[in-house]
Amino acid sequence: QVQLIESGGGLVQAGGSLRLSCVASGRSFSSYHMGWFRQAPGKERVFVAAIPWSGGSTYYVDSVKGRFTISRDNVKNTVYLQMNSLKPEDTAVYYCAATRSIIYRDPGVYNYWGQGTQVTVSS
């Protein structure tokens, strides 16, 4: 059983930065791979970034490469998403999720989801 709580969302102007945090409860956090997804109004939930349990590699959707950085601290049971050079098209509800699967881009493989945090980027 894993519970996830996201925070750090807000309103920011284009070109600004935000850092999202996701705190997990549960005794086996370090055994899960972690992902960030986002859902814009009227759109489906899509993959943004993922990091394996080891933290040795990272994966990103092409549209955020070079701007977003995912990281994790297994001691603190926390995964982060540092978002720089934000664009209006980044506006969405961002969700943290946990999985034991290596098919990171597929939301269907994630077992646990947070409640989401709103990110709004103004032009």
pLDDT digits (tens, 9 = 90+) for 45-67: 999 999 998 888 999 999 999 99
Residue 27 has pLDDT above 80, yes or no: no
Residue 56 CB neighbour total at 10 angstroms:
7
Residue 37 has pLDDT above 80, yes or no: yes
Least confident of 4-18, 26-40, 65-79, 80-94: 26-40
With beta carbons less than 8 A apart as the criterion, state whether 112 and 2 touch. yes
Residue 26 has pLDDT above 80, yes or no: no
Residues constituting the chain: 123
Residue 29 has pLDDT above 90, yes or no: no
Q: How far apart are CA 78 and CA 34, in angstroms?
A: 10
Q: For 102-118, what is each residue's pLDDT tens digit?
A: 999 999 999 999 999 99
Q: Any residues with CB less than 8 A from the CB of 39 and at least 6 apart, and which?
A: 45, 46, 92, 93, 95, 116
